[in-house]
Each structure stands twice: as structure tokens, then as C-alpha cells.
Amino acid sequence: MSFRATILTLYPEMFPGPLGVSLAGRALERGDWRIDTVNIREFGEGRHRLVDDTPAGGSPGMVLRADVLARAIDAAAPEGDARPRLLMSPRGRPLTQRQVREIAAGEGAVVVCGRFEGVDERVIEARGLIEVSIGDYILSGGEMAAMVLLDAAVRLLPGVMGNALSGDTESFEGGLLEHPHYTRPTIWEGREIPAVLRSGDHGAVERWRRAEAERITGERRPDLLTKSGGAAKAR
């Protein structure tokens, strides 16, 4: 069974969007994965298909209704659907490469794109939604965040990347940020490719790349070294 993503959104026309081009788009054409959209508004209340209401307790903005969203989720992922139910939310746990790999290794995901001030807490609890954040900032809705999550997962599916090993040294895969990259010309605006990368000594190249990855991680993301117990820094 191919990887299947089901997106619950008020703006289904946004998909596949960027997911329809490049690696993800070619994989979509081949049938390596599929994407379905569910328009939450089709499950809205009354003649006008209302999906939101004012916040209980009073405050600005509107909140996506629990009953409306629950109907959409139940239609999109009926009982027995083992895919994780994710809610793109700025208050969720930060998305990590480990989580992306877990998603890519499964049958897909049901992704809810929030809008307005948020989603009624009761539907999050009742439908087991896992809140996921892609960063400490606010978007207009969850659609762009869903695209980020799916792009990260789809590229890990078998056959999507031309070279399966090309992702092994990327940032976050080994607990470090990625080492610098260079290509021709050898000298550009007076800047030369490091001699070690032109030496033909594969062992020396790997040691250089590891040292550079540790240096860059220490400078830019020391928290990653802390998470790994400082092992990378100690080498």
C-alpha cells in the first residue's frame, strides 16, 4: 500500500501546491504516494455551512467547532484507520527528523489544518489529535505547515530520492547540522575549495566533514550537542 496523506482543510485548492513538483511531484505521478483533501466546510452547520463560533469565555477571533471538525475527521479516517492524526499547531511539539522518519515508515497521515484562533480542545482530545509545530512563529493556517511535514516525509519514501544514501549526512540525521558543500569551479571570486576535498583521501574527507559538522552545530545549534550528551563535541 502506498503512503497516503489525507488533508482536512478549509482551502483544499491549496493542495498539492508545491507537493506537486520536484521529488514529491514525480513520486505522486508514479503513485509512490497519494494525497486526498477533505473540505471541512462540507461538514459545517446549516445552510451556510458554518464551521466556527466565538470563543467561550470571550476573546477576539473565532474557534473551529468540535462537532464540525469531528464529522470531517470521522469521514476522512473511519474506525480502523491506523494512520496518525496530526493537527498542525504552533503549540504542538516541534517536528523532528525522527518523527518525520516514523511518519514516512507508516501508511501515511491524517493532517488537520487549523484556522482562526484555534480548534475546540474537546475534538483534539476526543479524536486523539497529535499537535505538531514546525517552528516558533504563527502562520495564517496549518496548510503551509502540512506541506512542510509531507515534503519532509515523502522524500524519505523508497525510490523518491535518486540516491538513497544522499540523506544520510543531512542536517539532523546524525544529531548534527550538515557539513559545508562545494562544487566546481575550484576557485570562485578568490575562494578555493578546501584542499582536503580535492585530495582523493576518502578517510581524510570524512574526518573533515565530521569536524565541520561538529563545528557548525556547536556554533549554531549547541542544543543539539546537549541532546546527544555532548558525544559529538567530545570526539
pLDDT tens, 152-195?
Answer: 999 999 999 975 555 565 667 778 999 999 999 999 999 999 99
**Strand order from edge to edge, sheet including 33-39:** 33-39, 3-9, 108-113, 85-94, 130-133
Pairing of strands 85-94, 108-113: parallel
Q: Is the pLDDT of residue 136 over 70?
A: yes
Q: What mean pLDDT, rounded, does the chain reach?
A: 93
- Please check the confidence at residue 50 and state whether its pLDDT lies above 80: yes
High-pLDDT (> 70) share of the chain, %: 92
Q: Is the pLDDT of residue 127 over 90?
A: yes
Q: Could you give the maximum distance between any two Cα atoms of the chain, in Å?
A: 72
**The three three-digit cell numbers of residue 165, written as one number:** 544514501
pLDDT band at 73 (very low <50, low <70, confident <90, very high): very high
Q: How far apart are CA 175 and CA 197, in angstroms?
A: 23
Packing angle, helices 143-154 and 22-30, rounded to 10:
70
Taking the C-alpha atoms of residue 32 and residue 34, their distance in angstroms, rounded to an integer, is 7
Ordered domains of the chain (ranges, CATH): 3-154 (3.40.1280.10), 169-234 (1.10.1270.20)
Question: Of 59-63, 67-71, 89-93, 169-173, where does mean pLDDT reach its minimum?
Answer: 169-173
Q: How much is the average pLDDT of 220-235?
A: 70
pLDDT in the model for residue 175: 85
Among 71-75, 154-158, 163-167, 197-201, which is the least confidently predicted range? 163-167
Stated length of the chain: 235
Q: What is the pTM of this model?
A: 0.88
What pLDDT shows up at residue 167? 55
At 190 the pLDDT is 97
